[in-house]
Amino acid sequence: MIENQSDIKDVLKGSSATTNPLARTSCVILQPIDESNYKKTIEKSVPFNLIEKRLTKEEVKKLKEIYNGVSPQVWGITDTKRTKVSYKDMQVGDVVLFNKSKNYFAKGVVTFKAVSEKLSEDLWGTLEFKNIYFIGWIESINISNIMMNEVIDIEKMSSNYDYPLFGVRVLKEKQSQAALDFLDIENTNPFVEVSANEFEEAVRLNIEGSLDTSTNSKGRVEQRYLRNKLFGKRLFEKCACCGFDYPVTQLYAAHIKKRKFCNVEEKLDTRIVMPMCKYGCDVMFEDGYIGVEAGKFKKLKNNSLTLTTRIEELVSAIEGKQCSYWTSDTKSYFEWHKEFHENK
């Protein structure tokens, strides 16, 4: 049942990974903004028909894969000697903190980089901001300059933290870690790919326990690989259950057959997971309110569950929908799920 099983085993034969792939971490970028430009390309997303005119076909193809049909948010920085270094230091997956009026008010994640004077001109009316980066997962924050300046002053060299941010700044590793800890963001680059051999080693060394609650690094490696398989580098994806589009941060890589009952062979099968949203679908499937039979979602006969009016409404909205993750290869997992919950 393992996808590309022979390839994995050939790679792994006689080998043992010694490094943790999740050590490849994010840096933090401090980005001052011009409010007018921010409104143009962050508060409002940029349509792809405008981007297509100015970037290469390959760049546009990659962006469309990442954004999965959703218009991206875009920022650009100038091309001075100092900002060139900052732009070079930026990596996909780095966390951006946007700053205005001595306050950090929003954060996001770098998803893609491209250099284009023409796109800069189209977006902001000047060639000046040609060093462009695309952003995802924008969220509001509220942190004063004083507070952030103190957090990133690792050596505690300053006695006055009330100073503004002059120009874009990419923090060093220790400063980035301090900022991410303060923001309560896990320092694991969301775009880092985990290899097949790293995945198998994690599975074999982390046989017991739930990936959702596991705090050890091997569990995170396993979960990252499964999420990479489901979502790739896309920022948005459909829930397998309700069919609505969500940011992938709001989707679980949910096991069809409960992971704790899987043998190693099944854990290595990347088809054992499907995307389930955090807005009810994951709980309904995990707890056994719904299952899949002959490729369609159905209400399960589970006498151990209490049905409220709202749960009945949610189940009814899903019942009868086609499940695109039901195949001849996954059929046995769905059958296990149905039998497990109906025989409680």
- According to CATH, the superfamily of the domain at 26-183 is ph1033 like domains (3.10.590.10)
Report strand pairing: 169-170 vs 131-144: unpaired
Domain span(s) for CATH 3.10.590.10 in the chain: 26-183
- Does the pLDDT at position 158 exceed 80? no
Check residue 3 and give its pLDDT.
42
**CA-angle at 320, arms to 316 and 324, nearest 5°:** 125
Tell me: pLDDT of 343 over 50. Answer: yes
Are the CB atoms for 93 and 109 separated by under 8 Å?
yes
Beta strands in 147-260 (DSSP E): 169-170, 236-238, 245-247, 251-255
Q: Widest CA span of the chain, in angstroms?
A: 68
Give the pLDDT confidence score for residue 97 in this predicted structure: 97
The predicted model scores a pTM of 0.76
Structure tokens belonging to residue 261: 């009952």
Least confident of 21-35, 207-221, 244-258, 330-344: 207-221
Residues 6 or more apart whose Cβ sits within 8 Å of residue 100: 32, 33, 35, 38
207 falls in which pLDDT band (50, 70, 90)? low
Distance of CA 124 to the CA centre of its chain: 28
